[in-house]
């Protein structure tokens, strides 16, 4: 399945590393990312990941990161329906 996540992060230099490390270690492959810095010292990250595992295995772990203030699963698309 392909999943889209919307994450709000506190701005700090290592926060992307934290998110990507957890994503890799929990068995999810990043296929696309968009990041922007908000005006209020937070960052917004939209990330698309691919895995056989349930997305909650990732979203729950990301939610546990101290610098993650918000993590929402937006959509799931079966891989065979992902537009190439």
The footprint of another protein (CB under 8 A) covers 14, 17-18, 21, 25, 54, 56-57, 60-61, 63-66
CB of 57 to another protein, least distance (A): 6
Q: Which is nearer to another protein, 25 or 82 (CB)?
A: 25
SS3 of 30-79: EEEEEEEECCCCEEEEEEEEECCCCCHHHHHHHHHCCCEEEEEEEEEECH
CB of 50 to another protein, least distance (A): 20
């Amino acid at each position: 399945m392909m999943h889209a996540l919307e994450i709000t992060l506190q701005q700090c230099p290592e926060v992307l590393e934290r998110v990507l490390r957890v994503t890799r270690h929990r068995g999810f492959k990043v296929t696309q990312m968009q990041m922007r810095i908000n005006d209020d010292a937070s960052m917004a990250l939209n990330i698309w990941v691919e895995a056989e595992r349930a997305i909650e295995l990732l979203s729950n772990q990301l939610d546990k990161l101290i610098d993650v203030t918000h993590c929402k699963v937006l959509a799931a698309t079966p891989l065979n329906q992902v537009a190439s």
